[in-house]
Amino acid sequence: MSVNILFAAHKDRWAQYETPLRRALDAIGIDYALSTDMEPGGVDYIVYAPNSDVQDFTPYKRLKAVLNLWAGVESAVKNPTLTVPFARMVDDEGLTQGMVEWVVGHTLRHHLGMDAHIVNPDCEWAAKAPPIAADRPVGLLGLGALGTACGQALSDLGFPVSGWARTPKSIDGITAYHGKDGLQSVLETSQILILLLPSTPETENTINAETLALMPKGAILINPGRGTLIEDAALLAALDNGRIGHATLDVFRTEPLPADDPYWTHPNVTVTPHVASETRPPSAARVIAENIRRGEAGEPFLHLVDRDAGY
Ligand code: NAP
C-alpha cells in the first residue's frame, strides 16, 4: 500500500522541496504519494513547518508522525491536537554546518576586533594585535545539535570552550556544565557567550540583569537561539553601562524587528535578520526520508521532540 505524505509548509517551500524529497524517498525504495493536497483521513506522514495552514491535526486519523522542517518547535509543541510522534529537524550537512559557519564567523569578528580596521574613518594606526584563541574563553548556552557542533568547531580553533545544558554531558573539546551553579561557571568565564538554547518556559529570560552581572566586563553576547532567551531591557542597560561590550543578535521576540526597536540604532548592537542558518532542502529531505523509512520499518524515529521539556 502506498505511503501518503502531505507536504504542509509555507507554499513557497514546495518548489524548493519537491524534487529533493522525491529523490530522497525514491532512494529509500518505498511506494509513496507526495502532495500538498490530500484527503486528511488518508495521510500517513506530514512534512511540516509550523507556519503552514495545517494547525488542527484532528482530521488526520491515520497519521503516524509529523516531521518538522525547522529545528525550533516552540509553537508546534503547544498544539494540543498534535499528539502523534513529532520530530524536529537535525540537518547536520545543511542547517548545522550553516550555524557553525555563522557562529565561528561572528565569534572571530569580535575576537580579532575586525570592526576597528574595516571602518576606520580617522585612519587610526592602532597597532595592537588581538590575543590568540587560547586566551579567549568562549561559552555556549545550549549543547544540543547546534551548540555542540559550534563548540567543537571553536575548540578546534583553539578557544577554551565551556557549555551549559539541562542534563550532564561529556563532549570532546567542551567543558560541560548543567544546573544553576553550572550556568554561573559558564557566565563568569565567557568573554564571548553564544546562545543556542531552545525557546521554552524554562529558558525564557536566561539572560537577565542578574546573569548579565556575572559576566566579565565588556563581554560579547551572540544570540542565534531565540529572542525570548534575553530580557531586552536588561541587555540594553548592560550595553549602556559597558558590562556587555557588543551584542550580535539574529533572533528577536518580534520578527521582523520593528523599525523603532532600540536594537537597530544602538552603537554596540549588530542586528542580523534571522539568517544564522536554515534547513537546506537536499540534506533535510534525506533526514525526512530516513524517518519515514524508520516509521515504515517499525524502527524508532530520530530527533523526537520531548513535549514535556518543550524542545
Ligand atoms: P537541541 O538539539 O534541542 O538542543 C537544545 C540544547 O538546549 C540542549 O543542550 C538542551 O539540554 C539545552 N536546554 C534546553 N532547555 C534547557 C534548560 N532549561 N537549561 C539548560 N539547557 C537547556 O536544539 P538545536 O538543534 O541545537 O537548536 C537550538 C535552537 O537554535 C533551536 O531551538 C532554535 O531556537 C535555534 N535555531 C536558530 C536558527 C537561526 O537561524 N537563528 C536556526 C536553527 C535553530 P540537553 O542537552 O540537556 O537536553
Grid coordinates belonging to 182: 553550572
pLDDT digits (tens, 9 = 90+) for 103-138: 999 999 999 999 999 999 999 998 899 999 999 999
What's the distance, CA 134 to chain centroid? 26
Domains and CATH numbers, the chain: 3-91+279-297 (3.40.50.720), 92-271 (3.40.50.720)
Beta bridge partners of residue 45, listed in sequence order: 5, 65
Alpha helix positions (H), the chain: 13-28, 97-112, 115-118, 145-156, 179-189, 209-212, 232-240, 262-265, 281-297
Ligand 1 pocket: which of 88, 194, 206, 311 to mutate (most atoms within 8 A of CB):
311
- Tell me, what amino acid is at 210? E
Cα separation, 67 vs 45, in Å, equals 7
pTM for this model (two decimals):
0.97
Sheet holding 45-48, edge to edge: 32-35, 3-8, 45-48, 65-68, 86-87
Q: Does ligand 1 have an atom closer than 6 angstroms to the CB of 239?
A: no
Tell me, letter by letter, the H, E, C secondary structure of 93-106. Answer: HHHHHHHHHHHHHH
Q: What are the Cα distances from residue 55, in Å, to 41, 108, 288, 305?
A: 15, 41, 20, 17
Q: Does ligand 1 have an atom closer than 6 angstroms to the CB of 203?
A: yes
The closest-lying atom of ligand 1 relative to the alpha carbon of residue 250 is 41
How far away, in angstroms, is 149 Cα from ligand 1 center?
A: 12
Grid coordinates belonging to 149: 557542533
Q: Does ligand 1 have an atom closer than 6 angstroms to the CB of 72?
A: yes
Closest Cα to atom 43 of ligand 1: 71
The closest-lying atom of ligand 1 relative to the alpha carbon of residue 146 is 26
Q: What is the pLDDT along the chain (311 residues), one digit of tens a residue?
A: 899 999 999 989 999 999 999 999 999 999 999 999 999 999 999 999 999 999 999 999 999 999 999 999 999 999 999 999 999 999 999 999 999 999 999 999 999 999 999 999 999 998 899 999 999 999 999 999 999 999 999 999 999 999 999 999 999 999 999 999 999 999 999 999 999 999 999 999 999 999 999 999 999 999 999 999 999 999 999 999 999 999 999 999 999 999 999 999 999 999 999 999 999 999 999 999 999 999 999 999 999 999 999 99
Q: Does ligand 1 have an atom closer than 6 angstroms to the CB of 251?
A: yes
Q: What b-and-e string marks burial along 87-122, b requiring 16 or more CB atoms within 10 Å of the CB?
A: bbbbbeebbbbbbbebbbebbbbbbeeeeeeeeeee
34 near 18, Cβ under 8 Å? yes
Comparing CA positions, the residue from 102, 98, 92, 70 lying closest to residue 199 is 70
Ligand 1 pocket: which of 102, 103, 166 to mutate (most atoms within 8 A of CB):
166
Using a 10 angstrom Cβ sphere, with 0-12 exposed, 13-18 middle and 19 or more buried, the burial of residue 171 is: middle
Ligand 1 pocket: which of 146, 223, 249 to mutate (most atoms within 8 A of CB):
146
Q: What are the Cα distances from residue 47, in Å, to 36, 133, 185?
A: 10, 41, 40
Q: Is the dihedral of CA 119, 124, 125, 129 positive or negative?
A: negative
Q: What are the Cα distances from residue 262, in Å, to 98, 151, 205, 211, 240?
A: 28, 30, 18, 21, 12
- What residues are labeled active site? 226, 274
pLDDT digits (tens, 9 = 90+) for 176-231: 999 999 999 999 999 999 999 999 999 999 999 999 999 999 999 999 999 999 99
